[in-house]
Structure 1
Amino acid sequence: MIKIAAMGDNVVDCYLSKGTMFPGGNCLNVSVFIRRFGGVSAYIGAIGQDEAGSVIEKALHDENVDLARLRILKGATAYCVIGHRDADRVFVRADLGVSMFSPSSEDIAFLKDFAAVHIGQSSGLDDHVSAAAAQTLLSYDFSTRRDPEHRRTIAPLCFLASISGGDLSHDEALAIAAELRDCGARWVLVTRGSEGAILLGAEGLFEVAASPADLVDTLGAGDTFIARTLFGLIAGETPHALLSAAAVAAAETCRYFGAVGHGAPIKLSGVVPELQTISS
């Protein structure tokens, strides 16, 4: 059984026009998708003692994600206000709440029982990725962060380095992938939205077109692609097979609201009070 942990960010994505919040965040999403793809997953992170935190905890529990290292802290759970332009998600405003945490030595030691750990740059855990990579294979999502010095620091630690490249030309995507490989990443994934994705590794360059989908909401599609690619690499699937499966899975995520579903009503009083001042 393939075991993959995710350590870092979580959030409730608040769709004000629907009055609904959905569990989300790059690392939380990856932990859920790994479980859905047939793996064993664990989530290491922090939520608040509030209704939003309860929504996140229940969703992870219902998805059978291991919560042994989940912290429940005083303070507010992270939230993000989501808008849409057609079906494409737009980030309006966010508050990180208690989600920015420092892993303990026990959290790091916990990783040794997993085949890989996924960490995203938005989690603020760059000071801890070296320790995590010493325990197991590291998957790291650079998202849209582009500074070369950051890539040169993190890439040597990576089994899989991922980039969100919807704003990049094909040549730009290839150049960044090649740089990450040259810096030491074993595999590099560049997701390009409707343009598909690129995977570069020792076996060569592989590309896949985006799978057709009736778009409802693109939130979480990139995280789906990362999770399915990581799962496939750990499982020993061929690059062509895992990319095809990842494209299909990402398209499926676009067919419903929220990254992983599990929507719950937004109750402005006592959940995310600052949202009372934000119009939809």
Structure 2
Amino acid sequence: MRLIAVGDNVVDYYEDRGEMFPGGNAVNVAVFWKRYGVDEVAYIGIIGNDGEGDHIVQSLQEERIDVSRVRRALGPSGEAVVTLDEQGDRIFVGSNKGGVQKQLKLNFTEEELEFISGYSLLHTSVYSHLEKELPLLQRHIDISFDFSTKYDDDYLRLVCPYVKYAIFSGGGLTKAECEALLVKVHKLGTPNVILTRGSEGSIFSDSTTVYEHGIVETDVVDTLGAGDTFVSIFLKEYISHGIVKEAMEQGAAAAAETCQRYGAFGHGKKREKKIAIG
């Protein structure tokens, strides 16, 4: 199996620990794919030319991710400032809004589109600013897209017709709101929808059947990256064999493992405290 993630990357900086960890939705999904057995995984994104960017690239290389098409740009890498509550739930308290990624956009040459078309699935997210590229990319590869909590109708109409898997963070939604979102997204053209709901587990709909699955209980250190882990492993397993319940079980187990460490996938590095960012 060959899978590719494209788009957002950050370092998650834990102020209380003075430590930064590589992350970002697209990066996290790529790493978990590789850790859980995908043969070939590539990542394409724009990363700053600073020490934080060096740490992101080095961490991906150590995880055996193909970063040959990563762009290094003059400017700061994306950064999120994170703290944890007493239950280990992560809270974002600041960011630089993606750093240099917000000033530039990814463009794809014919050669690169051919490279991408050699993979089975491309994963990206609302933080990757690829909305205008989705019609082009869809002609070359199936797409999974993480909307996070972006539920507004205009945005759904913009993205849903071009993606095979729509992913949402639904922890703040009621069960009725989740059901309404599933119906809306399917009507806009997306055949498969995944909702992660924190401690409430997850929901998956393939347009004909709605499946639900609970979490795997564990000793929680840090919940950062748990949702990305579930999505990554669910997609890998579902694409491999199409058995929904098994894919959800595997995703939940992997998410529980992620909760047992700091950072989405580790690689913590000490750093001097920076001036606070808004």
- Tell whether the structures are fold-level matches, with TM greater than 0.5: yes
1:150 offset after TM fit, Å? 1.3
| Other-structure match for 2:108 | 104
Q: Percent sequence identity over matched residues? A: 37
Per-residue CA deviations over 1:34-88 (Å, capped at 9, x if unaligned) read: 1112112110001112111111011100100011111111111111100122211
Matches within 5 A, 1:189-208: 189-208=194-213
Residue type of the partner of 1:248?
A
Distance 1:142 1:277, change over 3 A: closer
When structure 1 is superposed on structure 2, of 152-161 and 212-221 the one drifting more is 152-161
Q: Distance in 2 between matches of 1:152 and 1:22?
A: 34
Aligned-CA RMSD value: 1.5
| Other-structure match for 1:186 | 191
| Other-structure match for 1:272 | none
1:267 offset after TM fit, Å? 3.0
Per-residue CA deviations over 1:86-134 (Å, capped at 9, x if unaligned) read: 2111111111212343232244332101001001011111111121111
Q: Distance in 1 between matches of 2:116 and 2:133?
A: 12
When structure 1 is superposed on structure 2, of 17-26 and 197-206 the one drifting more is 197-206
| Other-structure match for 1:271 | none
Q: Distance in 2 between matches of 1:21 and 1:113?
A: 33
Gaps of 5+ in 1: 269-274
Q: What count of residue pairs does the alignment treat as equivalent?
A: 272
Q: Is 1:264 the counterpart of 2:269 in the alignment?
A: yes
Residue type of the partner of 1:195?
E
Per-residue CA deviations over 1:169-193 (Å, capped at 9, x if unaligned) read: 1111111012111221121000000
Residue type of the partner of 1:11?
V
| Other-structure match for 1:62 | 62
Q: Residues 45 and 106 of structure 2 are in contact (CA less than 8 Å); yes or no, is this contact kept in structure 1? A: no
Q: Distance in 1 between matches of 2:169 and 2:276?
A: 31
Q: Is 1:45 the counterpart of 2:16 in the alignment?
A: no
Q: Residues 217 and 257 of structure 1 are in contact (CA less than 8 Å); yes or no, is this contact kept in structure 2? A: yes
SS in 2 for 1:99: helix
Q: 1:154 aligns with which of 159, 162, 166?
A: 159
Gaps of 5+ in 2: none
Length-normalised TM-score, structure 2 = 0.94
Q: Distance in 1 between matches of 2:161 and 2:206?
A: 14
| Other-structure match for 1:94 | 95
Distance 1:277 1:178, change over 3 A: closer
Q: Residues 178 and 200 of structure 1 are in contact (CA less than 8 Å); yes or no, is this contact kept in structure 2? A: no
Matches within 5 A, 1:1-280: 2-39=1-38, 40-86=40-86, 87-95=88-96, 96-100=98-102, 101-105=105-109, 106-268=111-273, 275-277=274-276
SS in 1 for 2:172: coil
Length-normalised TM-score, structure 1 = 0.93
